[in-house]
Amino acid sequence: MILPSVLLVLGLLVLIFGANYLVEGASALAKKFNVSDLAIGLTIVAFGTSAPELVVNSIASFQGHQDIVFGNVIGSNNFNLFIILGITGLITPLAVQSSTAWKEIPISLVAVIILFMLVNDGILTSGAENILERWEGFILLVCFLGFLFYVYKQLTSEESLETSPEKKLSNLKMSLFIAGGLAGLVIGGQLVVNNAIDIAENLGISEKIIGLTVIAAGTSLPELATSIVAAAKKNADIAVGNIIGSNIFNILLILGTASVISPVSYTDSFNTDLYILAGGTLFLMLAMFTGKRKMLDRWEAAVLLIFFLAYTIYLVAREL
């Protein structure tokens, strides 16, 4: 247990440094090309911080670990929404652009609904086995391409021309920051996940709970580190765009890719976690129009954080 614990801490440190460099490089890229921090957060940063989920789920799908595939994505999305936005919202209230409140958050909710309909075959056809087939994976990937097209269209909008002030970096330094940051996130994420699994298995926790908690939290650490750094730098667009973008990436790209590699069986006990994800997304949408408009206030962030901590404790306690 000593070596996995040491490697776990090392992975956390690599994640934090990687997140810091990625935010610096991505913000500089946004300024250089007159692209909004939100667009960068929804694409480059979101993809970079979702890379651990992509790697873990591709391997898990290939090896037939069905519960880890769904547990990782659904658990990561819940962790992103409740824990990460909860923590960053406590650090500083998160003001967002109109497009986030009216478009990006609803898109993430639609992604959850699409996933729910695709995996719950038994609801539409009595007795049918719940499987995310390859053709359904292609549907998710087509939806993902549609999301990328939406972000591309956003680049031409008036809001996209507003960027936060950041110090200028040379092209070489900017590229090294982004590439090094992404590498740090992937390497750190793998160190955390692999050693967390070793520790969890020694404690006798099931694969489903490991996926929903240990792996989900581990692969979401890049989002956590990135959003905390962005919030500390008063860059709410990257902090929020990273989370919303990652949740969309996780469902459409990562589950789409995993099911194309190999059809994935779905356990309907995950529906509870999908309901929580949908409910949390609806709460976030409502938060944009209560209190200070288009802002996640501290008390709303606290509600997200406290609720999910209580739910996670319940999950683990029930398993033990």
DSSP 158: S
Q: What are phi and psi of 92, to 5 degrees?
A: -155, 135
DSSP 249: I
252/245: higher pLDDT: 252
Residue 158 has a pLDDT of 47
Residue 149 makes CB contacts below 8 A (sequence gap 6+) with: none
DSSP 30: H
pLDDT band at 124 (very low <50, low <70, confident <90, very high): low
Q: Are 240 and 97 in contact (CB under 8 A)?
A: no
pLDDT band at 139 (very low <50, low <70, confident <90, very high): very high
**What are the residues facing 30 on neighbouring strands?**
none
d(CA 5, CA 196): 8
- Give the predicted TM-score (pTM) of the model: 0.79
pLDDT band at 128 (very low <50, low <70, confident <90, very high): low
Number of domains composing the chain = 1
Residue 307 has a pLDDT of 94
Q: Are 192 and 56 in contact (CB under 8 A)?
A: no
Residue ranges in 168-267 assigned as alpha helix (H): 171-202, 207-209, 216-232, 236-248, 255-261
Q: What are phi and psi of 265, to 5 degrees?
A: -70, 140
Classify residue 317 as exposed, middle or buried by CB count within 10 Å of its CB (0-12, 13-18, 19+): exposed
Residue 24 has a pLDDT of 78
- C-alpha distances (whole Å) from 284 to each of 28, 243, 281 are 29, 12, 5
Res 171 pLDDT > 80: yes
Q: Are 174 and 32 in contact (CB under 8 A)?
A: yes
Find the mean pLDDT for residues 198-225: 77
Structural domain for 67, as ranges: 2-319
**What are the residues facing 265 on neighbouring strands?**
131
Res 243 pLDDT > 80: yes
d(CA 227, CA 184): 15
Looking at 40-44, 66-70, 256-260, which range is the least confident one? 40-44
Highest mean pLDDT among 18-27, 42-51, 123-132, 279-288: 279-288
The CATH number that applies at residue 229 is 1.20.1420.30
Residues 80-119: pLDDT tens digits? Answer: 999 999 999 998 888 877 777 778 889 999 999 999 999 9
In the chain, % of residues over pLDDT 70: 90
Find the mean pLDDT for residues 232-237: 79
In the chain, % of residues over pLDDT 90: 25
